[in-house]
Structure 1
Amino acid sequence: MQPTFARDERTPTLITSVSRALAVLDCVGSASRPLPAKFIARATALSLGTTYNVLRTLAHSNYVVQDSDGFVLGPAHPALAADSGAVALAQGRAVLNGIRDELRVATYLSRYVDGEIEMVDIVDGPLSPRVDLWVGLQDGAHATAFGKQILAQLDPQSRLDYITRHPLEELTPYTICSPREFLRRLEPRPAVTVDLQEYALGFTCLAVPVATSSWLGALAVSFPASGARGTLHQDYAKVLQDAATQLAVVLGVNPEHGQGQ
């Protein structure tokens, strides 16, 4: 006679390893940036050794991917498998890491979506601190190099509509607040846009376009205003332009400048 096992619906049998894996995936998936293993261990209350074992298993199946800054969701995770754009952004982070490591500057990727400018990713480090985005992009994008670059790519009517909805607030003494002057500078669609302490005192920012048939954005770097000038600005711009070409490929379409989503 086969033994029978009473089933208690109130206390189901749990598989500890599965619970741990789900906890780690939830932690990684809820973060906007890569998470180091030590942070994940603290957040999930798992030992560091257990956390490494779980991450190693998840990475083997491509549920998470490790880059130089930590772990992010991988292409096998259902949230990304259903969204090829998210996978592309995860792959594009390697390009941003490359810029930061080569130039020793903070790197930013932003885009234009539904009439607004949004930040997609920022890569920085102890030797390349980011600019403190103390003002939201809805109120301060006009003072940033990446905001200018995105607006420069829009058609004149869309550009005018944006600054009508987002007044040009004075963030520093160097911010361009005149709509006429602001539009005049963007009209030539400059290949490289510059923020000379317009958003934050003490920082300069350069940006180049990242545009495809389905993506309109900008790739930018920031550095101390007392740092690189002249020829070095040109060197930075060349690195950015090469990286923007790589990003356009990663995002899935050949580069082309045009209207955003």
Structure 2
Amino acid sequence: MPTQPRAAAEPGSREEPQDPPQDRTATLIGSVQRAMRLLESVAAHEQGAPAKQLARETGLALPTAYHLLRTLVHEGYLRRDKGLFFLGEAAARLHSSGAEQKRRSMVIDTLAGWRDSIGAPIYYAVYRDGEITVLSVSDSVGSPAVEEWADFRQTAHAHAVGQCLLSQLDEEARRDHLSRYPVRSLTPYTVRDDKALLRRLERVGRMEPVLERQEYALGVVCAAIPLTMGSTAATVALSLPSHQADRLLPAVQWLQQEIGRLPEAFPLSISI
């Protein structure tokens, strides 16, 4: 179909010719590419670099480099000091966010690998600011996680995750927690009172796993393994249907070995 000719602007009209959309897009993309090249060039100079050197390294005309550098400084991606350009706070945040995302992915992939190897859901939790916090759950259709029918934060006495975390606290911290979240029966197998729970926690050896059988939910058995993370109480746990209870101890032993193989720098301490 032939295109219609564009009507001429009326006399006195303020309408100006517009660039074709593809030209504007190309200009915008080119500007972004040039700005990224400048950022990469600045990042290569820890001691900073002047505009002329950056323009030369990136193959940009000096006026173009100056314009982009000023824009990047204004937006916080660069900072200028005594004629030299350095990476700014915004660029540092980008780097930090990327590194954090990489650490998150490492943890999520590791938990998923354990889940698939054991054939059971895997939980990662910490005790932070006086509260039980489940940071990540890795389950699947074939190995679903335990339904949180009663708030995990308020029922630490009844599940392996909570008991494992409480066992890592000192007596004062345990009593403080129980003063806020007292023991209550969830199933016929739940520990009966605070004293019985405290006695049980005292018997848990350092770095020993905690096993729980149908105390939180009928038909489910769980185990939680303590993690060494400085002063933070943390745990990795798993759950199984009660008819597979014979798999619980072998799964715990396998998981302990896998945790022991993790490098010291492995970022399990992050919030997922």
In the superposition, the TM-score normalised over structure 1's length comes to 0.62
Secondary structure (helix, strand or coil) at the match of 1:149 reads helix
Contact 1:172 / 1:197 at 8 angstroms: preserved in 2? yes
How much does 1:197 deviate? 0.5
Contact 1:109 / 1:218 at 8 angstroms: preserved in 2? yes
1:235 aligns with 2:258: no
Q: Tell me what 1:208 maps to.
A: 225
1:109 aligns with 2:112: no
**What root-mean-square deviation, in Å, do the aligned CA atoms of Structure 1 and Structure 2 show?**
3.2
Contact 1:80 / 1:86 at 8 angstroms: preserved in 2? no
How much does 1:142 deviate? 1.6
The CA distance in 2 between the partners of 1:209 and 1:178, in whole Å, is: 23
- Structure of greater relative contact order (alpha carbons < 8 Å, 6+ residues apart): 1
Q: Tell me what 2:266 maps to.
A: 250
How much does 1:14 deviate? 9.3
The CA distance in 2 between the partners of 1:249 and 1:209, in whole Å, is: 17
Q: Tell me what 1:68 maps to.
A: none
Alpha carbons of structure 1 residues 5 and 139: separation in structure 2 relative to 1, 3 Å: farther
1:12-37 Cα deviation digits (max 9, x unpaired): x999xx9xxxxxxxxxxxxxxxxxxx
1:38-85 Cα deviation digits (max 9, x unpaired): xxxxxxxxxxxxxxxxxxxxxxxxxxxxxxxxxxxxxx9957825966
Q: Tell me what 2:151 maps to.
A: 136
Residue type at the aligned position of 2:188: P
Mapping of 1:50-199 within 5 angstroms? Answer: 81-82=96-97, 87-190=102-205, 191-199=208-216
Identical counterparts, % of pairs: 30
Q: Tell me what 1:219 maps to.
A: 236
Residue type at the aligned position of 1:174: Y
Contact 1:151 / 1:186 at 8 angstroms: preserved in 2? yes
The CA distance in 2 between the partners of 1:80 and 1:102, in whole Å, is: 33
In the superposition, the TM-score normalised over structure 2's length comes to 0.60
- Unaligned segments of structure 1, at least 5 residues: 7-12, 19-75, 254-261
The number of equivalent residue pairs is 185
